[in-house]
Structure 1
Amino acid sequence: MRTHLCGEVTAELAGQAVFLCGWVDRRRDLGGLIFLGLRDRAGIVQVVIEPDSDAFADAEKLRNEFCVRIEGEVRMRPESQWNENMATGRIEVVATNVELLNASAPLPLLMTDEDGEEIRLKYRYLDLRRQRMQRNMRIRSELNHSIRGTLRELGFTEFETPILTKATPEGARDYLVPSRVHPGEFYALPQSPQLFKQLLMMSGMDRYYQIARCFRDEDLRADRQPEFTQLDMEMSFVDEQGVQDTAEALVRAAFADVLNVELPAEFPRLAWRDAMERYGSDKPDLRLPLQLVSVDEHVKHVDFRVFSGPASDDSQRVAALRVPGGAQFSRKQIDEYTDYVSRYGAKGLAWIKVNDADTGLEGLQSPIAKFLDDAAWSGIAAATGVQTGDILFFGAGDWGVTSTFMGQLLVKTGRDLDLAEGDWAPLWVTDFPMFEWDGDEQRYFAMHHPFTAPNDADPAALKADPAASLSRGYDLVLNGNEIGGGSIRIHRQDMQAAVFELLGIGEDEAQEKFGFLLEALKYGCPPHGGIAFGLDRIAALMAGEPSIRDVIAFPKTTTAQCVLTDAPSAVPATLVDELGLALKPKA
């Protein structure tokens, strides 16, 4: 039906006849002439219908989003009318025939960024016609293509693992699927292929990958969906460096292939403790030239319990954040920042404006300056490198809470002042704690997942001091977003049993949920490790989109609904009975 795509009609085709198919992106009637913007997946080309053309009467009936076929000749536009912002901006197609393939009803949305997300998702098939969305979907496709090509060259084998599987605890709720042939029993949709990829390493498959659909029934955010796509990789006979080197090669190749961007030859590494100390986050954005500084040693002696108390307690800290040029902040802005950090557990936010750094305490403007002496201020000034015109923010209290809310403040002020430097800043975060202690439940939880190996080689040593144990886990961070996480796995049965015990998973429960894994670990399991990448997140970063929903063809809303198909929805009572289920009445 067509000889060319609309976006590929360029000056090289001048004088040639073409057949084009697409949608009317816009229509302008200038009295004697009709101009159409004809759009397909490759772009837009200008079509001209002249008044003496046999096609003129047909063109008068066209409206936006009518689906048409155009026959015509390519000609150059006058140079004064060139549009260098379009690949087709130097030419136009003079139509000799216009064939209406299908008319369009009046559109229920504007087909612009002004449309609300709810209406965009309800009419997603129309929203996807937009050039922005077409570009996003192509980026995603190219990302998958690059991944498969690179991993094939690196000796990986692609596998498919089960979608209907067994429920396992991984920090979020499973989606359950009732079994008709086994009444009262359920499958679970996988949160990840974690156990199956480990079993493949036990099978001697050596290098596995899968672009896998995963499911988690959890609260949603801009970077979360109930069903999502991740790249899973696993390798045998590797250590952390081996996995990370392979992952770096993959990510560098993907950015070169998709965006023609060259990432660093080697990604920097930062231990988790250092990341929290300096950035207040385990996924810092290294493009922001701001850091937290602990000033405990300089304020232990001051007569200000808000500072001296935490400064004298190893489980707490006093953290300072220097914001260059921040002395310009009004009291209203400072109050807004104080309200902002309160969302993350801050009970207050101290601050000092430095109006003149050369005059010591005399050059400060702050409600807390009166509590500082010369020794305290000189120590703080040297530690932070503060200069005239800057502002210092201070947080004090529990080490983890203070690090977190000050880290949020770091990102907020850095973005408000547009301080980001460079385009892409990858980073490995390593040496995570093996466990997190939950005071409410009085038990440990795995920082990554229960199959991550600890640095301890001996189960007895791990059980003797689990709080001090570090894991062999690692996260890959890009521009403040975690795009991948992995670890060296536990490959010995005694160590896996010890970790289950520390997590409060008793022997009977371990056998019920993970008996197949514990059994497999008895038969010469090799050392192995891997990583999983969130492809939705990577595609969103590549496309410059703040939400992964704009790089997923048919996403769910923030309430986990598909407004296009009206899912989830009720099912016939006969089906419920056939599955052996009974539904509670809705509240």
Structure 2
Amino acid sequence: MRTHYCGELNGSHDGQEVVLCGWVQRRRDHGGVIFIDLRDREGLVQVVFDPDRAEVFARAEQVRSEYVLKITGRVRPRPAGTVNADLPTGAIEILGLDLEVLNASETPPIQLDTHAADASEELRLRYRYLDLRRPEMQSRLRTRAQVTRMLRGFLDSHGFLDIETPILTKSTPEGARDYLVPSRTHPGEFFALPQSPQLFKQLLMMSGLDRYYQVARCFRDEDLRADRQPEFTQLDIEVSFMTEDELMVLMESMIRDLFRAVSGVDLPDPFPRLTYHEAMRRFGSDRPDLRVPLELIDVADLMAEVDFKVFAGPAQDPDGRVVALRLPKGGELSRKEIDAYTQFVGIYGAKGLAYIKVNEWAAKGREGLQSPIVKNLPDAALNGIMARTGAEDGDLIFFGADKATVVNESIGALRVKLGQERGLMAEGWRPVWVVDFPMFEHDPANQRWVALHHPFTAPKEDQLDRLETDPGACLSRAYDMVLNGTEIGGGSIRIHRDAVQRSVFKLLAIGDEQAEDRFGFLLRALKFGCPPHGGIAFGLDRLVMLMTGATSIRDVMAFPKTQSAACPLTDAPSAVDEAQLKELALRIRLRP
């Protein structure tokens, strides 16, 4: 129907007759001359209709925004003084020779211009097909397609095979609730939608396929936020006969190639690495944003003997932590601003936010400090704090004192917020690997160990004995790739020996009977010559979100769900009729 896309026309097409198809972005009547901005996926072009073609001009008078048109016209340069330098097609226009209305449109419920983002997300998702017409949204989905294509190309070139794994599978515990699918042919039994292809990709390694990948749909019934959806996409990868170092180097190369090709950015070579312990100690997070120069400084040893229980209590508690966070030039903060930061850390469970303003420490010592807590701290503690933080006149020092988990979450989050709001955030991309994760963490509520990643992660070879003697000190062969404070990929070397897998299950309170019931197929496969293997999964949605500058993964997915896991476009989830339920041997019983 058309000869060109609107956005690809330029001065080289001068004098050519073209046929264009698209939507009316806007129509303007300027004293007897009608201008129509016609839009398709490649961009926008201006079409001019003169009244000397009366029939065509009359049709142009009738069109409105979002009408679908087919236009025949001739390309010509714009008159002097009317060139639009902000538009790729701004040096030319189309003289309209013919116009056909392919479809009319009602007035759209959302504006498809720069104000579209002002509409509520509920409205944008209900009319997603309109929202997706916006150039910003189309650009993001084009980038997503390009990212997927580049990743596939890299893996294909390195001998990986693209293999699909089942969507209807067995329910196995992987950290979140499963989405269950009732079976009609096996009444009372259920399939589960996969939270990840984890077990199947391990089975593919046991099948001798050596290098696997898949752009996989995954499903998790969990509470949602900006970077979570009930259904999401990950680039799933598994290899045999590779160490974690070899796999990490290969994956670094893939991400570097991706950013160079799609964003024109050269990432570091190699990526820096942090141990989990170091990341938590310095940044309070296992996904640190290295663009922020602020760091948490441990000061518990300086506070253990002070007569100030807010600090002394956590300092003497084996599970406690006391840290200082120096904010350069933070002395400028008003009390109102400090109170706002106090409320912020309260979100993470912190009971307060102590601080010291360093006004004239160099000249006046203690008298040059401004804070309600200074009177509670001896000179030795103050001297130690100032020396350790490197604080200078005009700075402000925040303190966190509580259980280590609370301090890490609250002060770690404050560190990033201060970096953003105080202009300390460096430009660009800062990738980092986080390695040497603990194998397990203790669940005090249930008095049991739980896997920090998943129960198929291998312990370090020299720490197998710790599985029984000291599980809390056992380190795993896991690794996460973090970019600007967001985890974009995570993986591990897997357990490939039956005895080790059973030992881990036992430690996680998964008995032999339960293990056979849930993972019998995996345990059987481990007995038939399982190779050493490992892998990684990249969150494709998160990666594209970062690369496009979007603030939510919903803005890089064509048809996402809301934060309540609903689809306003299709009104899903919805009730089904009794006949369908009867076929599945199900009956609805609502919660009281």
**Normalised by the size of structure 2, how large is the TM-score?**
0.97
1:478 to partner: Cα distance: 0.6
Matches within 5 A, 1:46-125: 46-54=46-54, 55-111=56-112, 112-125=116-129
Q: Against the structure 1 CA distance between its residues 337 and 534, is the aligned structure 2 distance closer, same or farther, given a 3 Å change threshold?
A: same
Q: Does structure 2 retain, via aligned residues, the 8 Å contact 1:456–1:462?
A: no
Structure 1 CA distance for aligned equivalents of residues 355 and 265 of structure 2: 40
Indicate whether 1:550 and 2:555 are aligned. yes
Structure 2 CA distance for aligned equivalents of residues 562 and 401 of structure 1: 35
Structure 1 CA distance for aligned equivalents of residues 230 and 314 of structure 2: 41
Q: Could you tell me which residue of structure 2 aligns to residue 21 of structure 1?
A: 21
Structure 1 CA distance for aligned equivalents of residues 358 and 80 of structure 2: 57
1:332 to partner: Cα distance: 1.2
Match of 1:131 among 113, 126, 135: 135
Q: Could you tell me which residue of structure 2 aligns to residue 206 of structure 1?
A: 210
Q: Could you tell me which residue of structure 1 aligns to residue 39 of structure 2?
A: 39
The aligned length equals 587
Q: Any idea what the Cα deviations from partners look like across 1:110-152, whole Å, max 9, x if unmatched?
A: 2211111001100111110000110011011001100110001
Structure 2 CA distance for aligned equivalents of residues 104 and 586 of structure 1: 44
Q: Against the structure 1 CA distance between its residues 103 and 45, is the aligned structure 2 distance closer, same or farther, given a 3 Å change threshold?
A: same
Structure 2 CA distance for aligned equivalents of residues 2 and 262 of structure 1: 39
Structure 2 CA distance for aligned equivalents of residues 91 and 448 of structure 1: 57
Structure 1 CA distance for aligned equivalents of residues 332 and 522 of structure 2: 59
Indicate whether 1:168 and 2:172 are aligned. yes
Letter in 1 for 2:367: E
Structure 1 CA distance for aligned equivalents of residues 389 and 79 of structure 2: 61
Structure 2 CA distance for aligned equivalents of residues 581 and 301 of structure 1: 64
1:86 to partner: Cα distance: 1.5
Structure 1 CA distance for aligned equivalents of residues 434 and 122 of structure 2: 37
1:504 to partner: Cα distance: 0.6
Report the RMSD for the aligned CA atoms in angstroms.
1.3
Q: Could you tell me which residue of structure 1 aligns to residue 195 of structure 2?
A: 191
477-486 vs 302-311, greater mean Cα deviation: 302-311
Query: SS where residue 80 of structure 1 aligns?
Result: coil
Indicate whether 1:508 and 2:513 are aligned. yes
Runs of 5+ unmatched residues, structure 2: none
1:417 to partner: Cα distance: 1.4
397-406 vs 522-531, greater mean Cα deviation: 397-406
Matches within 5 A, 1:70-469: 70-111=71-112, 112-359=116-363, 360-457=365-462, 459-469=464-474
Q: Percent identity?
A: 58
Structure 2 CA distance for aligned equivalents of residues 428 and 460 of structure 1: 26
Structure 2 CA distance for aligned equivalents of residues 149 and 400 of structure 1: 41
Q: Does structure 1 retain, via aligned residues, the 8 Å contact 2:294–2:326?
A: yes
1:494 to partner: Cα distance: 0.4
Q: Does structure 2 retain, via aligned residues, the 8 Å contact 1:458–1:495?
A: no
Runs of 5+ unmatched residues, structure 1: none
1:460 to partner: Cα distance: 4.3
1:296 to partner: Cα distance: 2.1
Q: Could you tell me which residue of structure 2 aligns to residue 6 of structure 1?
A: 6
1:207 to partner: Cα distance: 0.4
1:418 to partner: Cα distance: 2.7
Q: Any idea what the Cα deviations from partners look like across 1:297-321, whole Å, max 9, x if unmatched?
A: 3333432222233233443221011
1:484 to partner: Cα distance: 0.6
Letter in 2 for 1:550: D
Structure 1 CA distance for aligned equivalents of residues 588 and 272 of structure 2: 53
Q: Any idea what the Cα deviations from partners look like across 1:53-112, whole Å, max 9, x if unmatched?
A: 342111100100000011111111234322222211111111111111100012122221
Q: Any idea what the Cα deviations from partners look like across 1:469-508, whole Å, max 9, x if unmatched?
A: 1111111111111111100000000000000001110000
Q: Against the structure 1 CA distance between its residues 461 and 312, is the aligned structure 2 distance closer, same or farther, given a 3 Å change threshold?
A: closer
Query: SS where residue 81 of structure 2 aligns?
Result: helix
Q: Against the structure 1 CA distance between its residues 154 and 455, is the aligned structure 2 distance closer, same or farther, given a 3 Å change threshold?
A: same
Query: SS where residue 118 of structure 2 aligns?
Result: coil
Q: Could you tell me which residue of structure 1 aligns to residue 564 of structure 2?
A: 559
Structure 1 CA distance for aligned equivalents of residues 50 and 453 of structure 2: 66
1:373 to partner: Cα distance: 3.1
Structure 2 CA distance for aligned equivalents of residues 178 and 310 of structure 1: 50
Structure 2 CA distance for aligned equivalents of residues 104 and 39 of structure 1: 15
Query: SS where residue 117 of structure 2 aligns?
Result: coil
Structure 2 CA distance for aligned equivalents of residues 298 and 586 of structure 1: 53
Structure 2 CA distance for aligned equivalents of residues 80 and 9 of structure 1: 20
Q: Does structure 2 retain, via aligned residues, the 8 Å contact 1:226–1:560?
A: yes
Q: Does structure 2 retain, via aligned residues, the 8 Å contact 1:276–1:404?
A: no
Q: Could you tell me which residue of structure 1 aligns to residue 582 of structure 2?
A: 577
Query: SS where residue 101 of structure 1 aligns?
Result: strand
Structure 2 CA distance for aligned equivalents of residues 458 and 411 of structure 1: 35
1:457 to partner: Cα distance: 4.8
Structure 2 CA distance for aligned equivalents of residues 319 and 586 of structure 1: 46
Q: Could you tell me which residue of structure 1 aligns to residue 503 of structure 2?
A: 498
436-445 vs 410-419, greater mean Cα deviation: 410-419
Structure 2 CA distance for aligned equivalents of residues 189 and 369 of structure 1: 57
Q: Any idea what the Cα deviations from partners look like across 1:532-561, whole Å, max 9, x if unmatched?
A: 000010011111111000100001111111
Q: Does structure 1 retain, via aligned residues, the 8 Å contact 2:233–2:540?
A: yes
Letter in 2 for 1:547: S
Q: Does structure 2 retain, via aligned residues, the 8 Å contact 1:164–1:187?
A: yes
Q: Any idea what the Cα deviations from partners look like across 1:331-370, whole Å, max 9, x if unmatched?
A: 1111111111111111111001111231221211111111
1:581 to partner: Cα distance: 0.9
Structure 2 CA distance for aligned equivalents of residues 572 and 116 of structure 1: 32
Q: Could you tell me which residue of structure 1 aligns to residue 546 of structure 2?
A: 541
Q: Does structure 2 retain, via aligned residues, the 8 Å contact 1:79–1:90?
A: no
**Normalised by the size of structure 1, how large is the TM-score?**
0.98
Q: Does structure 2 retain, via aligned residues, the 8 Å contact 1:202–1:524?
A: yes
